[in-house]
Every structure is written in structure tokens, then in C-alpha cells.
A and B are shown apart, each in its own frame.
Chain A
Amino acid sequence: MGSSSSVPAEVQELAAKTGFTLEQIEHLHRRFKHISGDQPTIRKESFDRIPDLEFNPIRSKIVRAFFDRRNLRQAQGGLADEINFEDFLTIMSYFRPMEMNMDEEQLDCFRKEKLKFLFHMYDADNDGKISLQEYRKVVEELLSRNPHLEKESARSIADGAMMEAASICVGQMEPDQVYEGITFEDFLKMWQGSDIDTKMHVRFLNMETIAHCH
């Protein structure tokens, strides 16, 4: 991909759809090719090519997020087997930083998108809420890097967090009221006030491409 005059139409279309600049798309395309081994699509196994990812405790969740149809905006659930470059870009677009020229509504929408991405990472079974089991799994995974942690502990933390969430989201509960799980609205409530805008972005996507290793 050389000068802008010879940029194919698809790339332009991608740029328009996902909001990336041409350089960023170029760089990501290179990266995509590296991960996929020059194939047009990536599978879950392809992510094994990234050695640094091995140390990430939530690796499986991240990889899974790439194939989650909800994130790919294809369906309401289920997992894709493989994704192409456009899907790759779609997932990456969740991590774009906020732009200064966005208005309130766009910002809000953007924020919701990011939070939805996060929510999907928690809500594995796609029932629209994060149940205790799912939350426990998340915490266990988060703490899995620490070899001295037991599942019990992770469980209790998750339980505590769940209770806290219940209190924040539902407020006063009746004795026999059941708190099913954290719904997306509750999730939004929990994140209210904290600036996900500043946190959930990858700096790279805002700068000139940096020479990647390999």
C-alpha cells in the first residue's frame, strides 16, 4: 500500500467503517498477516503466535473476545470460527481513544460500546447478565497468575464483589429478593463516574505506527 492515490477502495471503506486512519490500517494489516501466517483469516490458534500473550492471565478471554459474534456485530451470540481482517479491525476499533471532535452523544455511544465489549468478556454464556459463576471465573482467571492463590479465595472475592454490586445496583433488597446477576444497566451504573474513556484505549492507535518487533 503505497501512496494514497493507489489506496484500494476496500481500505477506504474500512477506514470509514472503523474510524482508523490509513496508516493504522496498514499497520494492523501487517500485524494481521503476521498473526494469521499470511492467511486471509485468523483462528483461535493463530494467537499462539504472539508469545507475550502467554503471560496474560486473561488470555483466553481476550482471544475469545475476538471471536465473539456479539463483538463482531454479527449475531446475538455464539462464536465465530475464524475472523477476517475486517472483523479484526472491528474488534480493534473498540480500543480507539476518544476523539476531541466527538460530541456528547457520540462520546456516550462510544463509551457504551466499550463497556459492552467489557461486558461481553464477563458474560460468557450470553444471557445478558453476569452471574456469580461467571464472575467467579473472571476473578479466578485474573488471579491465576499468582501460584499461591487458591480457587476458594478467588471465589470469595468474587462473592464479595457480587454483593457489593448488588448493593450498588439494586439498593435495598427485600429478604427474599434474588439478585440474579449484573445486567448491562447495572454494569453501566458501576462504571459511572470512572473514566473508561481514558482507560480503555490503546495509545498506539493514536500515533504514527511504531516499528513492530518481527
Chain B
Amino acid sequence: MGSQILMHVNFLYWLLLTLKCSFAATYSDLSNLSSNSTSHYKPDHHEADSSAQDERLYVFTVDYNYVQIPCEVTLWILLASLAKIGFRLYHRLPSLMPESCLLIAIGALVGAIIFGTDHKSPPVMTTNIYFLYLLPPIVLEEGYFMPTRPFFENFVSILWWSVLGSLLNAFGIGLSLYGICQIEAFGLTDVNLLQNLLFGSMISAVDPVAALVVLEEASVNEQLYMMIFGESLLNDGITVVLYNIFIAFTQMHRYEEIESVDVLAGFARFFVVGLGGVLFGIAFGFVSAFMTRFTQNISAIEPLLVFMFSYLSYLSAEILYISGILAMTACAVTMKKYVEENVSQNSYTTIKYFMKMLSSVSETLIFVFMGVSTVGRNHEWNWAFISFTLLFCSIWRVLSVFVLFYISNKFRTYPFTIKDQLIIAYSGLRGASSFSLAFLLPMHLFPRKNMFITATLVVIYFTVFIQGITIGPLVKYLDVKKTNKKESINEEIHMRMMDHLKAGIEDICGHWSHYQLRDKFKKFDNKYLKKILIRENQPKSSIVSLYKKMEIKQAIEMAESGIKSSAVSTVSFHYRNQRIHRLSPEEVESMRDMLAHSLYQVRQRTPSYNRHNLPTEKSEKQAKEILIRRQNSLRQSIRKGNSLPWGKPASTKNVRFLSLPYGTNHPARRKARHGASTGDSSSDMDSVSSIMFSPQLQAGSFGANRGQQEMVPMERFDRRGKLLDFAAQRGSLRKKDQAGRIRRSAFMPKPQFDAVFEEEIQGYESEAEEGAASRPTVKWAAEERNVRHFHKAPSPPFWRK
């Protein structure tokens, strides 16, 4: 099956390629044609045609010139996308090699075609275009999807490692290569120290996205992941800063005239540029968050605000020659928290997907360019330089890892083991950034630019293909410590307890640690920032996701209306007493608050980064699936009639739902809706519990899905239906219809929430009422009022982070 599709896809490839070839051929024809008529050439191609054709009106004309650049770019992107589709279709491939390999291969293919047809590739990659258009999306996406809590917990280590690591690598490689260049035999003596240093800084730009994907799949422990992630984030900025400094030096007087003053100025500049960038970014982040506070009536411009402000932060930083990359990263990180709470659900989705799309387009283009450059004439192969580059890259990386971590381990309470360090050293894959920097070297300053490009390409190919493919098996072989993925309410509670406990003990000890720092920041945040930056009419916790949760909870509860809490009350839940109170809107709201607040932290604990994929897709589907099955089970149990004892075993029909593939969402959903309106209470809790199994099964198979771990435990206690008692309420039939309808609207936003709600609902099932008729109405009112809010909540990312 997969191979068939693969064949189809291959066919499409070849079709596209032939299209491109024909374009190329046509172009070369046209170039001949147009060269004849250059004197008459005007921007308007119609005119050019007619003037060249001797006053004859041709019915059919072709002008490729006009659309060449956009057309080719589009074709490249399409080709890469098709490649990605094909890549995923063949299941074994993604586990064998990282996606970057694929992109490079496609690039090389395109390059080969262009070279073969002797076609001049459009000048897509110039300094301006790269730094102004291609780089920002990638940086923005990295910054936006960064998991903030683990990042800041390990912030000092990350900073220490990225900054010093980059510097050490850059200077180390540069100086060693300079040493090599001094050797007469290699013919490299014209490459002076500055050029070598520049090359060193370029080549030390790591791009470990591929490694991150592998590590995430292997679910390595959080600290390790964060180190590599943080490095990738900061390394770009640092390398570009270094690069610019060195270029400035090169452009200065002759190299011999550089004095120590200049060197010091270089250092100072490094700090100014770095810190300035961060401050700039934070300022822009706040402004942008503030803006989104007022956009409730015009939610369509919210994504625009986000993107434009981030881009503006980048551009304004560049005006002042401070690091735009760091500015943009800081902006994204700052902005995200508040923006997420302000923007509508749809805007949030748009932002997320658009960001991913832009960054993936950029990356594709860069890789294609890399491929195009590979197969070209602008190479200079120098055995010595290239092989020593490769050698020094590896040596210096390993050296810097071990030295720097040896020192930082002394200060960390969680020291990195040798295994961890090995993995970190091995994940130093180079990527698009090194290549771009090499490609954009000004030729007049670097007469041996081609050699640099060749060397860079060799290093990239080596690291991406060889290291990228082998890092997976290496991780498995080393059996690196895994992360604990179990996320549950209990863990959440315990974690927070622990945090407060630690903060308390540290207060008692008089020690000031980063926990207190974080506490203080949180206090400041709550007191001032949130008031300014977050919308007024939001619940105080300003985490709108809760709304949705409670909404759906109520909706489903209403659908099941008449479900009673267990008389057994084995855990001594005194639900019945509280049931009546529960439903007033204020209480609902506060419940939301509380839940959001308590659950807020959960999302921050899960690093999940994948440039090529939105990491939550699976969990979304999962959530949807769970919800649908839940409805099905409801329907089932409803059909069975009233007051079935909750101890009834699951029917086979329900069990069968377990094996439903994801694709059956819609019919199931529709059925569920009907089911809700026809039946009475659900009594078969085991059917609900059967839902538990599936999340668990899938949770096991999706390594990176922490989102639904949360769901599983909650579902499970539903299984303890022993605690819950369900009785039918025929009177509420009518209400169910309405509930069904409301639920429909409830489903429109992210299903992720639905499932989460579902958990809550299940959890609160114990609190479910005897189904007094008045209850549904009250809930109803609350729901009506809040349905509007549904579409505003952004929260799915909460789980995904």
C-alpha cells in the first residue's frame, strides 16, 4: 500500500521534474529569442512580444521570463513538499534518517537538473534576501515554540554552553586552520588569520534540528534536550554576531592595522549586540502583547500583529546593528505567553501553522540552494583545507563539550553524565546557517570564497548524513536517561508542592536561588504585567482554555443529563451536597480559573520541538478520538436503557471502538450526536473505561505525546465507575438535543480541548447531579454565555509545549 503511493508520488516527481526541464529548455529558447529583440525589450512582456514579432498578432505566445523567479521558487517548494510527503509515506524512512537529509538530497537533485540543463538559477539567495526574508521565519519559529520553563530552569547552563561553546569552537577552529594554512605545502598561505577566524565562526554554527527530532523521538531526559535546544537557539545569534564582527574587521583597514583597541571594541560590541538584541526583543514583545489586548473585535488581524511585530523587532535591531536574531527570539518568547491568552482560537491556530509553514519554506529554499550550489562550477577543492576542517570541527566540538561541561557540572545539581556529553557532542550537525553564511561572503574580500563554500558543504553533508543517520542508533545504544513522561494531575500537584516547599526551605536557609527568582518574577508578572497586557474580560487566570474545558464539560454533562453520582461514594466524596452549588456561572468560572491555573504548569513542562511538524497533531487526533469514543459509549449506554448498574461489563461493541482508525472521526461524531439526543443516561461506565485503553495504547506508541498522558489518568478514574452511579433521566431528553447542538459548536475548536474537557467531565462525573431539570437550565445559561468564548481560546499549545 505504501509502496503504491510511493510509486504515485515518484510519478509526480518525475512529472514535476520534466516540467521543470521543459521550462528550462523553453527558457533557453526564449533567451535566444529575446536576445534578438533586446532593443525592443520592455518590462511589459506583451509589448515585447508584439514588437518582436513583426506586427503579427500571435494567438499563442510563451514568455517564461516574466514568471521565471516566482515560478521556479514555487516549483522548488512544491518539489520539497512532495518529497516530504513521500518521505513520510514510507514508514521506515523517518526513523532512518532526518528530514534534513531529504531536503539536501532534493536540493542536490534540483541542482543537478539546473546544472544539466545549463540553466541559470534565479538569484534567490543574496545577502539581503537571506538576512531579511529567509532567516527571520526560521528564527521566529524556533523562539516561539520554545518550551519556556525548562529553558529558564537551565538557563545559566544553556547560556554558558552556547556562548562559550560557540566562541571556543569558532576561535579554536579558526586558529587551528590558520596554523594549517601556514604550512606551505598546502597552498593556503594566502588565507590570513582573519579569514580563518571568520571561517571558524561560520562553520561553528550548528543546526541540530535533526538531532532534536531524533532525541525527541527517543524521549531523552529534559535537561539534555534543553541543552541542545538552547544551543541551537542561541548559537545562530552568536555566530551571526561573530560573523558580522569579523566581516567588519575585514572591511576595516588592512589586517595588520588591527590594534588591540579594535579587538576590545569587538568584545564590547559582542556584548552590546547580544544583550541589546534581547532587550529590544523583550520591548517589542510587550508592545505586541499589549496590542493584542484590544483586538477582540477584529481577531483577523491578530496573526498579523504577531508576525509584524516580531519582524519589526528583527528589522529595528538590524538597523542598529544589534543582533536581530536574538531580538526576534526574545520577542517571540516574551510575546507568546500573553498573546496566547489574548488571541482567539482561530488566530492562534493560524499563527502556529503559518509560522511553521514560513519556516519550512525558508528552510527548504535554503537547502535547495545548498543543493544547487553543490552541483555547480563554483567549487575549489583543496584536500588539506577540507579534511582538516572536518577534523577540527569534530575535535573542537568534543573538546569544548567536555571542558565546558566539566566546569558547569561542578555547579549543577544535576550533572551531565559522560553519555549525555557524548550525545551533545555528537549532535553538532551543521546546516543551513553555515551554508548561508559561507555563500554570502563578499567575493572581493575573500578571494578564496569557493574553497570556503566547498569546505562548508562537505562538513554539512558529512554531519547531516553520517551523524544524522547514526545519532538515533547511538542514543539507543548509549541508553541515555529517559524523561518521565507521565503527566497527571497528581504529579502536577506534587510538583507545585515541591516548588513551594523548595522556595520555602530556601527562604528559611536564607539562600537565594532561581526558584525565588522565578517566584518573584511570577509575583511581578501577576501584579503588573498581566493586568496591562491581558484582556480585561478574561477570567482572572486569563487562561481561556479552561473556558472551553468547562463548556464542553457542561455540554457533555448535559447530554448525559441525569447521570448520578455513585451512591456508594466509596472515596467518601460528598458530591451530592455540592452538586447544586456547582453550576452557578461564577463558580464555574472560578473552577475554570483554578483548573487552568493548576494545569497551566503542565503544559510548560513538556519540550516538544519539531520544525517539520507541529508536534501536537497526533495528540489532537487522539483527543478527538477519545471524545468520539466517549460519545459513542455514551450513546451505547444510553441505548441500553435506564439505571443500569455501573458495574456492567463493557459490551463488545464498545471494545471494538478501540480499534477504530483515526479516520472514522466524522461518522462516529455524527452518530454520537444523535445518540446523545435519543438516549438517556449512560450507565455503562466500563464502556467509558474502554476509552481509557486506547489513549493508553496510543500514548505508548507516540513517544512525543505528552499531551494525552494527562488524559489517561483522568479517564481511568472514570473507570472507577464503581464510584459513579448513573441513572437515567428521561425528562432531560429535550435538553440533550440542545446539548448535542451546543456540543457541535463546542467541537469546532481544537479537539484537544474536547478531550481534556472530557477528562474533566469524567472527573467531575462524580459530581454530576441527579439531573434535576433546573440544573440543565442553569448550566445552559452559563453555556450560552460562554459559548462565545469558545472560539477565543488558544490553548491547545498549552499541551503541546
**Separation of A100 and B506 alpha carbons in the complex (Å):** 22
Report the Cα distance A157→B713, complex, angstroms: 13
Instruction: Tell which of B511, B540, B719 touches A148, judged by Cβ atoms closer than 8 Å.
Output: B540
Which secondary structure dominates chain B's binding surface? helix
7 A-B contacts, Cβ less than 8 Å apart? A31-B508, A50-B507, A155-B578, A156-B591, A161-B493, A177-B570, A199-B498
What is the bound-complex CA distance between A28 and B590, given in angstroms?
Answer: 42
- Decide if A25 is an interface residue (CB 8 Å cutoff): no
Which B residues lie within 8 Å of A196 (CB)? 498
Q: A166-B571, A173-B720, A196-B498 are in contact. List 7 more A-B contacts (CB 8 A).
A: A53-B504, A92-B509, A133-B572, A146-B594, A157-B598, A174-B722, A204-B506
Judge whether A193 and B486 touch: CB under 8 Å. yes
Interface size range on B against A: 35 or more
In the complex formed, the residue of B with least CB distance to A181 is B571
Complex formed: what's the CA distance from A152 to B78 in Å?
A: 54
Does B523 interact with chain A (Cβ within 8 Å)?
yes
Tell me whether B488 is interfacial, beta carbon within 8 Å: yes
The 10 closest A-B pairs by CB, nearest first: A163-B717, A212-B510, A153-B594, A204-B511, A167-B716, A160-B763, A164-B713, A148-B540, A178-B570, A175-B647
The reply to whether A210 and B512 contact each other, CB–CB distance below 8 Å, is yes
Q: Are A118 and B539 in contact, with the CB atoms below 8 A?
A: no
Known: A146-B597, A149-B590, A160-B714. A59 touches B502 (CB 8 A): no
| Interface residues in A153-202 (C-beta closer than 8 Å to B) | 153-157, 159-168, 172-179, 190-191, 193-196, 198-202
Closest to A95 in B: B505
How far apart are the CA atoms of A49 and B307 in the complex, in Å? 49
B484 adjacent to chain A (CB < 8 Å) = yes
Q: In the docked arrangement, what's the CA distance between A59 and B504, Å?
A: 7
CB neighbours (8 Å) of B486 from chain A are 193-194
Residues of B within 8 A of A97 (CB): 413
Q: Is the CB of A153 within 8 A of B646?
A: no
Q: Which residues of B contact A92 (CB under 8 A)?
A: 505, 509
A-B contact count, CB below 8 Å?
213
A167 touches B493 (CB 8 A): no
Near A by CB (< 8 A), chain B positions 57-94 give none
Contact between A132 and B571, CB atoms less than 8 A apart: yes
The residue on A at minimum CB distance from B511 is: A204
Asked if A77 is an interface residue, CB under 8 A from chain B, the answer is: no
B53 to chain A, nearest CB (A): 76
Residues of B within 8 A of A155 (CB): 578
The B-contacting residues of A in range 12-35, CB under 8 angstroms, are 27-28, 31, 34-35
Task: Return B572 CB to nearest CB of chain A, in Å.
Answer: 6
* B594 and A149 form a contact (CB under 8 A): yes
Q: Which of A27, A138, A199, A213 contacts B493 (CB 8 A)?
A: A138
Given contacts A155-B578, A161-B493, A193-B486, contact A31 B504 (CB under 8 A): no
Q: Counting CB contacts under 8 A, is A105 at the interface?
A: no
Q: Provide the residues of chain A in CB contact with B716, threshold 8 Å.
A: 163-164, 167-168
Flag if B489 contacts A142 (CB, 8 Å): no
Q: How far is the CB of B153 from chain A (nearest CB, A)?
A: 11
Q: What chain A residues lie within 8 Å of B505 (beta carbons)? A: 62, 92, 95, 202
Q: Which interface class (under 10, 10 to 19, 20 to 34, 35 or more) fits A? A: 35 or more
Instruction: Give, as a whole number of angstroms, the nearest-CB distance from B608 to chain A.
Output: 18
Residues of B within 8 A of A177 (CB): 570, 722
Main secondary structure of the interface of A (DSSP, over half): helix
Query: Does B491 have its Cβ within 8 Å of any Cβ on chain A?
Result: yes
Residues in B with CB closer than 8 Å to A194 are: 484, 486, 491
Judge whether B501 and A212 touch: CB under 8 Å.
no
Smallest CB-CB separation from A24: which chain B residue? B509
Also in contact, A163 and B591, with CB within 8 A (given A58-B497, A175-B647):
no
CA gap between A100 and B493 in the complex, in Å: 29
The answer to whether the Cβ of A84 comes within 8 Å of any Cβ in the partner chain is no
Whether B760 and A159, one on each chain, are in contact in the complex, defined by CB atoms closer than 8 angstroms, is no
Known: A53-B507, A157-B595. A164 touches B764 (CB 8 A): no
In the complex, are the beta carbons of A118 and B591 less than 8 A apart?
no
B494 within 8 A of A: yes
Partner of A156, one of B411, B540, B593, B763: B763
Say yes or no: A53 contacts B508, CB within 8 Å.
yes
B571:A162 contact, CB within 8 angstroms: yes
Known: A164-B489, A175-B568. A206 touches B590 (CB 8 A): no
Q: Are the C-beta atoms of A167 and B598 separated by less than 8 Å?
A: no
Q: Is the CB of B513 within 8 A of A204?
A: yes
Q: Are A56 and B500 in contact (CB under 8 A)?
A: yes
A159 pairs with B767, CB closer than 8 A: yes
In the complex, which residues of chain A have a beta carbon less than 8 angstroms from the beta carbon of B717? Answer: 160, 163-164, 166-167
Within the complex, the shortest CB–CB distance from A100 to chain B, in Å, comes to: 8
Interface check B587, CB cutoff 8 A: yes
Contact between B414 and A149, CB atoms less than 8 A apart:
no
Q: Name which residue of chain B comes closest to A212, CB basis.
A: B510
Q: Which residues of A contact B766 (CB under 8 A)?
A: 159, 163
CB neighbours of A212 from chain B (8 A): 509-511
Closest-CB distance, A138 to chain B (whole angstroms): 7
Known interface pairs A160-B717, A164-B489. Does A153 touch B591 (Cβ–Cβ under 8 Å)?
Answer: yes
The answer to whether B594 touches A164, judged by C-beta atoms less than 8 angstroms apart, is: no
B249 within 8 A of partner (CB)? no
CB distance from B602 to the nearest CB of A (A): 12
- Chain B residue with the shortest CB-CB distance to A147: B540
